[in-house]
Every structure is written in structure tokens, then in C-alpha cells.
Amino acid sequence: MTGVSLAAAIEVHRHLGPGLLESTYSECLQFELTARRLRYVTQHRLPLVYKGKPRDTRYRVDLIVEDCVVVEVKSATAIQPVHHAQILTDMKLTGCPAGLLVNFDVAKLMDGVKRFVNPQVSKRI
């Protein structure tokens, strides 16, 4: 599933190039995922439980594709360690076995892609 999601991101980057807002890339990526007949949810809200108590705060995940791949869309000059931590947290909270951190603000998209595997989930991707 990561391969198909990545192909969709490559198509978006090929048409738009770098330098736009994350929201633009996210909207176009959704178009490409739909064209590939993939199910996804955007800005998925997760409840936050702190010390066993539900909190009013909701945590949002950029995209979840086919209930198994978290996609974090970025448009940044450089990926920071906090971005890695963010997608790992997304994967932990959603239980998704895989994640893609996609930074569209690069000349060649594959230079801005990092794949992640959730070791706590044994589901094949």
C-alpha cells in the first residue's frame, strides 16, 4: 500500500513541483488517491487520553490510506527530527503498520520521502 500511495505523491510532485503549501499538496494527493480507488481519511481526529483520562483535545492525522498507511504531508526546506517523531506518534496512536513522511519541497520527490514501519503491528503492508 505504501508503493501506491507513493506513486500518487510522485504524480502530484511531477505536476506541481516544489514550493507550494502543504494544504495544496494534500488536496492534490487526495485527488490522486481517489483516482487510484484507494480509501482514505483526512485530518482524522483521534481522542487524547492522558493518564487514563480522556481529554477534550483531539489529535489530527494528515492522511490514513486504506486503514494501514499514515501519510504525513510536509512542505519544508528540511525535515527535522520532530517530523520523524510526529509520524511515529501517528502510527502508534492509529495502530497503522506503515507510515510515509513526504516532503514536497524538494527537487526530486524521492529525496523527500521517508518510510516508517510500526514494530508494534504485525499486519503486512
- Name the E strands within the chain: 40-50, 53-65, 69-74, 98-103, 113-117
Specify the pLDDT at position 124.
53
The grid coordinates listed for 90 are 501517528
Q: Where are the domains of the chain?
A: 2-117
Specify the pLDDT at position 50.
86
Residue 15 host element (H or E): helix 2-16
- Inter-CA distances, 118 with 66, 67, 89, 94, 95, Å: 16, 13, 10, 10, 8
Specify the pLDDT at position 115.
96
Query: Which pTM does this prediction carry?
Result: 0.88
pLDDT mean values, one per 10 residues, the chain (125 residues)? 94 97 96 97 86 85 95 95 93 93 96 92 60
DSSP three-state, residue 56: strand
